[in-house]
Amino acid sequence: MNLHDLSPARGAKKRRKRIGRGPGSGHGKTATKGHKGIKARSGGGKRPGFEGGQMPLVRRLPKFGFTNPFRTEYNVLNLKSFDAWTGPSTVTPQALVDAGLVKRKRLPIKILGNGELTKPLVIQAHKFSESAKTKIQAAGGRVEVIGGA
C-alpha cells in the first residue's frame, strides 16, 4: 500500500450543496429559501431573543436594582492575613503585592478587622475599618492612611 492508494472511507467526504446555480442543480430559483418570507430576504432572520411577536422574556421579567457607575472597588484584606507575615514591620501596598496577598494591583486596598493581630505592624492602606484600626493599635501597631482612593 502506498500513499496514492489511500482514500477516505465511503460517505466520509460529502459534496457541499451549491445553491442558486440554475435549475439543473436542483437548488436553483429560490435557492432553498422557499417563497418570500423573512428568511428569503437579504439580511433576513430573527434577532436573538425574538419570540415570534410574543413579548420577549427579557421584557416580561421585572426590573430591579441599580448599579452605581462611580462605585470604588477595593482589594479587601482581613487582619488574619497578617498572622503569617514575615516581611518588614512596615506593610506597604507594594509589599502586599510582592507577598501575593493582593491580586489586582491597580485597585486601592482596604483593611478589615476579621481576625486578630499579634505583632506590632505599621500598616499602610487606602482605607481601614474601625475594628481594624482598634485591633492594630491594640497590638502596638500604627495605621497610616495613604491617598489615591
Q: Are 33 and 40 in contact (CB under 8 A)?
A: yes
Per-residue model confidence as pLDDT tens digits over 18-58:
999 999 999 999 999 999 998 999 998 999 999 999 999 99
Whole-number Å distance between alpha carbons of 87 and 90: 8
Place of cell 498572622: 83
75-145 belongs to CATH 3.100.10.10: yes
For residue 132, give the nearest of 71, 86, 81 by alpha carbon. Answer: 81
- What is residue 148's predicted lDDT score, i.e. its pLDDT? 66
Range of weakest confidence among 60-64, 103-107, 145-149:
145-149
- For the chain, strand residue ranges (E) read 75-78, 90-91, 109-112, 122-125, 127-128, 142-145
% of the chain beyond a pLDDT of 70: 99
pTM over cut 0.85: no
Task: Tell me the residue type at 3.
Answer: L
Q: Are 143 and 136 in contact (CB under 8 A)?
A: yes
Hey, where are the domains in the chain?
Answer: 75-145
Handedness of CA 104, 105, 107, 109 (dihedral sign): positive
Cell representation of residue 62: 421585572
- What is residue 17's predicted lDDT score, i.e. its pLDDT? 92
Q: Are 108 and 126 in contact (CB under 8 A)?
A: yes
Statement: residue 149 has pLDDT above 80: no
Q: Are 27 and 21 in contact (CB under 8 A)?
A: yes
Q: Are 77 and 95 in contact (CB under 8 A)?
A: no
Whole-number Å distance between alpha carbons of 118 and 6: 75
